[in-house]
Amino acid sequence: MSHTNQIETGWDEYRRALRSTDQEVFDRLFEYAQLHTDPSTVHKPLFVETPILISILLEQQRQLDDLDDRLDHIEDDLNSQG
């Protein structure tokens, strides 16, 4: 079992207390962490949760950057039309 899975299991009670829509978001955050497990294995932080949280932030930032790029293209298209 990976550190991510162990930590996620430790959050089971918290997850169950969330609204179902928030549970889906919570699950997605741990899916983001799973996308970056390789770098997490080479870093030995003081707190095991640190690489998981950084992995989540990395993935969210990638998505924000993608949305920002898409919005820029839409704005460019709209400006060129009118």
Going from the C-alpha of 30 to that of each of 22, 65, 66, 73, 80, the distances in angstroms are 13, 20, 20, 30, 40
pLDDT computed for residue 9 by the predictor: 77
10 Å CB burial of residue 25 (0-12, 13-18, 19+) is exposed
Q: What is the pLDDT of residue 32?
A: 84
First to last CA, the chain: 56
The 10s digit of each residue's pLDDT in 2-37 is 556 666 677 888 889 999 988 998 898 888 888 877
Over residues 37-51, the pLDDT tens digits come to 776 666 666 777 777
24: helix, strand or coil: helix
On whether the pTM is more than 0.75, the answer is no
* DSSP state at residue 44: -
Please give the pLDDT value at position 45. Answer: 64
